[in-house]
Copies of this chain bind each other. A is one copy, B any other.
Amino acid sequence: MARANTDNRPMTTPTTQDLLERRARLLGAGIATFYDDPVHIVRGEGVWLFDADGRRYLDLYNNVPCVGHAHPRVVEAMQQQTETLNVHSRYLHEGILDYAEHLTSLHADHLTTAVFTCSGTEANEVAILMARAATEGRGLIYTQAAYHGNSTEVRKLSRLRGDGDREFRSIPVPQRYRPIGDGLDDEALTETYLARLRAEIDGFAEDGVPFAGMMVCSILANEGLPDIPPGFMARAAEMVREAGGLFICDEVQAGFARSGNWWGYETSGVTPDIVSMGKPMGNGLPLAGVVASRELVETFRDKTRYFNTFASSPLQAAVGEAVLGVIEDERLVESVADVGGYLIDNLRALQEGCEPMSDVRGHGLFIGMEWVTDRDSKSPDPDGADVIVNRLRRAGFLMGRAGEFGNVLKVRPPLVLMREQADMFLEAFEAAIAEPV
């Protein structure tokens, strides 16, 4: 959750003040910064960020530089390709084919063919166009606290923008912590959420809107990483397909080892028809895309004649390939599962003495912690969570917030975070939650 800094800002250096004023003038007031006292970052290396005063911060936030800030292998790939060739995809080039071959080999068997784009928003645009092209439907279902991108169409896949558009319908966030029914066992809870999905599918039919499918982040990242009622995802996909729709997993946040598996859809036990990817894919180079069956991709290409100037370029291919290479060679899937498990165990141990931290959950190096006014009411306390985030920022640890109410503390470091760095964070976190907020 970004927060504009407008008032009650602690003393800032003249430089920070000057930068904030220049930002407002050149980029417009309303461009958000993180933290009450925004950080002026000038250098990054691995899991570390350094500010203009030379102060070091442990990066517990950034998922885009997934293999670490300024990873030498990524830097070298970018350098070599940039000085050799970077053109569009209407010439033949082996780089993008090698990369597509590698990337699709990491996915479920039927996901054989790729469409590349520059951003997650563009990938989700492709996914929507593809689902609609293949089904000849229009109606799309999403979860209420989702965020899938910033374009006019993709924005509608979120509660605030989609309401009132007859082609978009939402379901509540499927979860155990704040379930829609009281006292339900797991199976009954799953059924309850599936019934909500059923109702929305039926709603499209009643409105005469042909159904195209459902898009969901496979680990519900923006929703605050809730524990998903068991079997929900797989059964939802089945229900969507039975109704003639396609099941789209947004792996923009969940993908590329983040959850301790290559893909979030493995973690949540579902097989998607279409997968969109983004953020970590190029370690910061704009690189995103979609994989699906060859049939779906060809129907999409045939009906849309899609072309993307900067995508499928030799540069995207070289950098994307370097990222895959690092994840494999540094065994980051295994490392993420290990360090993530270690972190979550230790954070859960800290829960006992900390009443507001009412739920600790997540997958791999993506952990969410509910911050509430009290455990009985589960009333979200986003302001309290913000106090913790800012205390940690002052202590040299950068994290963020997520969730439907902005009250979920979010730990999502580069994948290369090691146990010793996790220990440094745990110590600082323990200190930060020791005082009342």
Interface residues of chain A, those whose CB is within 8 Å of chain B, are 2, 16, 19-20, 22-23, 25-34, 38-44, 49, 62, 64-65, 69-70, 72, 74-75, 78-79, 82-94, 96-97, 100-101, 104, 112-115, 118-122, 125, 128-129, 150-153, 155, 278-279, 284-286, 294, 297-298, 300-302, 304-313, 315
* Bound: A34/B93 CA distance, A: 12
Whether A112 lies near B310 (C-beta < 8 A) is no
- Contact check: which of B43, B83, B118, B150 meets A84 at CB < 8 Å? B43
* Bound: A64/B309 CA distance, A: 8
Whether A315 lies near B284 (C-beta < 8 A) is yes
Q: With contacts A82-B79, A119-B309, A284-B313 known, is A294 near B28, CB below 8 A?
A: yes
Distance from A11 Cβ to chain B, minimum over Cβ atoms (Å): 16
Whether B33 lies near A91 (C-beta < 8 A) is yes
- Contact check: which of B22, B69, B118, B304 meets A119 at CB < 8 Å? B118
Residues on B with C-beta less than 8 A from A307 are: 2, 32, 150
Whether A151 lies near B150 (C-beta < 8 A) is no
Instruction: Say what secondary structure dominates the interface of chain A.
Output: mixed
Copies of this chain in the oligomer = 2
Residues on B with C-beta less than 8 A from A82 are: 70, 74-75, 78-79, 284
Whether A104 lies near B28 (C-beta < 8 A) is no
Q: With contacts A40-B93, A92-B41 known, is A28 near B87, CB below 8 A?
A: no
Q: With contacts A85-B42, A151-B151, A302-B30 known, is A94 near B19, CB below 8 A?
A: yes
Whether B100 lies near A44 (C-beta < 8 A) is no
Distance from A145 Cβ to chain B, minimum over Cβ atoms (Å): 15
Residues on B with C-beta less than 8 A from A128 are: 152
Q: What are 24 A-B residue pairs whose CB atoms fall within 8 Å in the complex?
A: A2-B307, A23-B97, A26-B100, A26-B112, A28-B301, A29-B298, A30-B298, A31-B301, A40-B93, A43-B84, A43-B85, A62-B88, A65-B87, A118-B119, A119-B286, A119-B309, A125-B151, A128-B152, A151-B151, A152-B153, A153-B153, A278-B309, A285-B286, A285-B315
Whether A90 lies near B34 (C-beta < 8 A) is yes
Q: With contacts A44-B85, A75-B79 known, is A119 near B301, CB below 8 A?
A: no
* Bound: A306/B32 CA distance, A: 9
Q: With contacts A92-B39, A150-B308 known, is A300 near B28, CB below 8 A?
A: yes
Distance from A422 Cβ to chain B, minimum over Cβ atoms (Å): 21
Whether B90 lies near A2 (C-beta < 8 A) is yes
* Bound: A26/B62 CA distance, A: 30
Whether B19 lies near A87 (C-beta < 8 A) is no
Whether B310 lies near A284 (C-beta < 8 A) is yes
Residues on B with C-beta less than 8 A from A91 are: 33-34, 38-41, 49
Whether B284 lies near A87 (C-beta < 8 A) is yes
- Contact check: which of B28, B62, B112, B308 meets A113 at CB < 8 Å? B28
Whether A64 lies near B41 (C-beta < 8 A) is no
